Amino acid sequence: MTFTPDRPLRVLVVGSGPSGIFAADALIKQTEIPVQIDVLDRLPTPYGLVRYGVAPDHLKIKSVTAGFEKTLSDPRVRFLGNVSFGTELTYDEAKGHYDALFYTFGASSDRRLGIPGEDLTGSMSATEFVAWYNGHPDAAAREMLLSATGVAVVGVGNVALDVSRILSKTVTELRDSDIAGHALDALEHSPVKDVWILGRRGAAQAKFTTRELREFGELHLSEPVVRPEEIQVSQADEEAADSTVKKNLEVLRAFAARAPEDKARRLHLRFLVSPVEILDDGHGHVGGLKVERNRLDESGSAVGTGEYEVLPVQMVLRSVGYRGVQIQGVPFDPSRGVIPNEQGRVTGRVGEYTAGWIKRGPSGVIGTNKADAVESVKLLLEDARNGTLQPVQSSSRERIDALLSAKAVDVVTLADWKALDAHELMTGQAQGRPRAKVPSKAQMLEVIRGGRG
Ligand code: NAP
């Protein structure tokens, strides 16, 4: 079948985060095959982790949404928000209405440490904490007890640095961010004094990037603390270091050499330590974190030395990676937390593709997902060209609209989102802040319905 402007290639993109939008963008940028794309999201808001993952004080990174809005505004593209794939639109229904399905629903869960005490009150994933302070509707209603004076953050990736920085900033520093109002209020009363960021391997193996690390040295109330003996690296690691590792080591060495400033809060960057048990305070709450000192073996893996210490913390945030979640009808590899695929073609399925974290796992920055989505889109176009795709008998926007309307799904359009966006910006401005996020789905829909008149 040849796709034409009257019968374009109809694609459903599941997930409106960066990967989904980059995929839609790659599809509309080519001119060979006419396309029509629906970008679905279970939330009423587009942009996925740009809205709910990127740190609220990193507003510049979020400016990428201007380009995303342009893609969603193209007449060949529609945003269908507030529609859950797998339930409100089932796999079979989607398969019957679209020529191709493109999964870009990311990694919404987290990895666990697998140590005793992980389920104590006060122990949680950084993913949950990030979702809470970013006003994600799944997490906004959560009671977040910020009574800890000591917090351990396990892992040394950029997410670990984000949560540690947010915990260490003053409310004045955070007012310029788009942090959720409930989080700003809670953080204002947080008694936190010490945050420990724990790397199981050495400083040369840390995953964070230098710009984020440098910010630790620029906080009003908090100072970085680094032990010189923990950032010593082997000759081999020094020689193998890429430019990021070299710059990280430079900054860490400068931190280690700083004279104490006696600031009210301290950010302890610790290396070669692994959590082995989260201790109970006797009331089911975190009462400390037992860690073991490590050394690196020949292969660069952490090996315990049998030396232990207990950190005086009442909160533990594991920041050891996000994890994909299965959606009904979509193949899933539980060991890797991804959709099994070959360069983006879903294994064993015709006309199904994937991109982003659910394709390759939770790695890379926003831009990484562009090349990744383009790679998968190329395969989709190749299959459309060579007849591998099995187009549906008849397909139209109206048929999908009728299907969702029959199920009483209140689809949020791009115009609806723009109204909500404008509302958030306006309410934020009135509070002297860049944005005041509406934190619950019900409230978002109320604002949206109000805007429809
Ligand atoms: P990440 O960069 O993969 O870091 C995960 C960290 O957890 C690593 O230090 C890892 O150590 C450690 N870890 C894993 N299992 C562990 C265990 N059992 N015990 C102790 N430590 C353990 O993941 P992320 O921080 O969640 O970030 C995800 C992606 O988003 C990354 O690509 C990141 O760069 C990106 N991101 C970027 C920004 C930004 O650009 N500003 C902000 C946030 C996130 P090992 O190396 O030893 O495994």
Å from CA of 161 to ligand 1 middle? 10
Interval between CA 84 and ligand 1 midpoint (Å): 28
Q: What is the mean pLDDT of the chain?
A: 96
Residue 256: CA atoms inside 13 Å, Cβ hemisphere, count?
17
* Closest residue to atom 23 of ligand 1, CA basis: 321
Show the domain range for 50: 9-108+324-412
Whether 51 and 186 map to the same domain: the answer is no
Residue nearest to atom 41 of ligand 1 (CA): 158
What's the full length of the chain, in residues? 453
Q: Identify the residue whose C-alpha is closest to ligand 1 atom 25.
A: 157
Residue having the nearest C-alpha atom to atom 11 of ligand 1: 155
- The verdict on 184 and 293 lying in the same domain is yes
- Closest residue CA from atom 40 of ligand 1: 365
Asked if 168 and 237 sit in the same domain, the reply is: yes
- The two beta strands, 35-40 and 77-80, are parallel
pLDDT of residue 226: 98
State whether 260 and 389 are in the same domain.
no
Does one domain contain both 276 and 229? yes
Report the domain count for the chain.
Answer: 2
How far does the centroid of ligand 1 lie from the alpha carbon of residue 154, in Å? Answer: 10
Q: 115: how many CB neighbours lie within 10 A of its CB?
A: 17
Q: How far is the CA of 322 from the centre of ligand 1 (A)?
A: 8
Q: Residue 159 C-alpha to ligand 1 middle, in angstroms? A: 6
429 domain-assigned: no
DSSP state of 338: B
CA distance 165 to 159: 10
Kind of pairing between the strands at 35-40 and 9-14: parallel
Closest-lying ligand 1 atom to the alpha carbon of residue 364: 32
Q: Which of 320, 360, 368 has the most ligand 1 atoms within 8 A of CB, as the residue to mutate?
A: 320
Q: How far is the CA of 320 from the centre of ligand 1 (A)?
A: 5
pLDDT at 451 over 90: no
* Residue nearest atom 14 of ligand 1, based on CA coordinates: 320
Tokens, residue 415: 């115009």
- The residue whose two tokens read 């090349």 is 371
Examine the domain organization and report whether 254 and 375 are in the same domain. no
Whether residues 289 and 161 fall in one domain: yes
Residue 227's domain is classified under what CATH number? 3.50.50.60
* Six-digit token string for 334: 């539980």
Residues 6+ apart with CB under 8 A from 272: 199, 200, 201, 202, 230, 293, 294, 295, 296, 302
- Rounded distance, CA 344 to CA 413, Å? 28
User: How far apart (Å, rounded) are the C-alpha atoms in residues 318 and 112?
Assistant: 7
Q: Where are the beta strands (DSSP E) in 139-221?
A: 150-154, 194-198
280, 357: one domain: no
Pocket residues: Cβ below 6 A from ligand 1: 113, 154-160, 162, 199-201, 205, 207, 212, 274, 319-322, 362-365
47 CA to centre of ligand 1 in angstroms: 21
**Can you give the pLDDT at residue 330?**
97
Is residue 361 one of the residues assigned to a domain? yes
Would you state the structure tokens that stand for residue 279, as one six-digit string? 């201790």
DSSP state letters, 127-154: HHHHHHHTT-TTTTT-------SEEEEE
Same domain, 225 and 338: no
* Boundary (domain end) residue, out of 263, 292, 321: 321
SS3 of residue 333 by DSSP? strand
Buried b (16+ CB within 10 A) or exposed e, 73-97: eeeebbbbbbbbbbebbebebbbeb
CA 227–ligand 1 middle distance (angstroms): 21
Q: What spacing in Å lies between the alpha carbon of 383 and ligand 1's midpoint?
A: 35
Output the CA 331–ligand 1 centroid distance in Å: 25
- Is 434 a member of any domain? no
Flag whether 446 is in a domain.
no
Q: Dump pLDDT digits (tens) for 162-201.
A: 999 999 999 999 999 999 999 999 999 999 999 999 999 9
Q: Is 124 contained in some domain?
A: yes
Measured N-to-C along each axis, helices 65-73 and 414-430 cross at an angle, to the nearest 10 degrees, of: 150
Which single residue is written with the structure tokens 């104590």? 120
Could you tell me if 303 and 362 lie in one domain?
Answer: no
Query: What single-letter DSSP state applies at residue 45?
Result: S
The answer to the question of residue 40 being in a domain is yes
Rg of the chain, C-alpha, whole Å: 24
Contact 248, 213 (CB under 8 A): yes
Residues 134-152 have a mean pLDDT of 89
Q: Stretch 115-144: mean pLDDT, rounded? A: 92
Q: What is the pLDDT of residues 391-408, one digit of tens each?
A: 998 889 999 999 999 999
3-class DSSP state for residue 8? coil
State residue 444's pLDDT score: 97
Regarding whether 317 and 328 lie in a shared domain, the answer is no
Q: Cα–Cα distance between 401 and 72 in angstroms, integer?
A: 17
Ligand 1 test: best mutation among 61, 111, 158, most atoms within 8 Å of CB? 158
Output 230-235 pairs: Cβ under 8 A, ≥24 positions apart.
230/202, 230/203, 230/270, 230/271, 230/272, 231/202, 231/203, 231/256, 231/271, 233/202, 233/203, 233/204, 234/204, 234/296
Query: Given ligand 1 and candidates 163, 200, 369, which is best to mutate, with the most ligand atoms within 8 Å of its CB?
Result: 200
Q: What is the CATH number of the domain that holds 404?
A: 3.40.50.720
144 pLDDT tier (thresholds 50, 70, 90): confident
* pLDDT per residue as tens digits for the range 205-255: 999 999 999 999 999 999 999 999 999 999 999 999 999 999 999 999 999
- Give yes or no for residue 142 having a pLDDT over 90: no
State in Å: Cα 282 to ligand 1 middle: 31
| Residue 89 predicted with pLDDT over 80 | yes
435 pLDDT band, cuts 50/70/90, is very high
Cβ-based neighbour number of residue 218 at 10 Å: 10
Q: Which residue minimizes the CA distance to atom 1 of ligand 1?
A: 157
pLDDT given for residue 146 in this prediction: 87
Does 152 lie in the same domain as 260?
yes
- pLDDT exceeds 80 at position 57: yes
Residue 440 in domain? no
Q: Ligand 1, atom 42: nearest CA belongs to which residue? A: 158
Render pLDDT for 299-356 as a digit per residue (tens, 0 to 9): 889 999 999 999 999 999 999 999 999 999 999 999 999 999 999 999 999 999 999 9
Domain contains 445:
no
Question: What per-residue confidence (pLDDT) applies to 140?
Answer: 73
Q: Quick one: pLDDT at residue 306?
A: 98
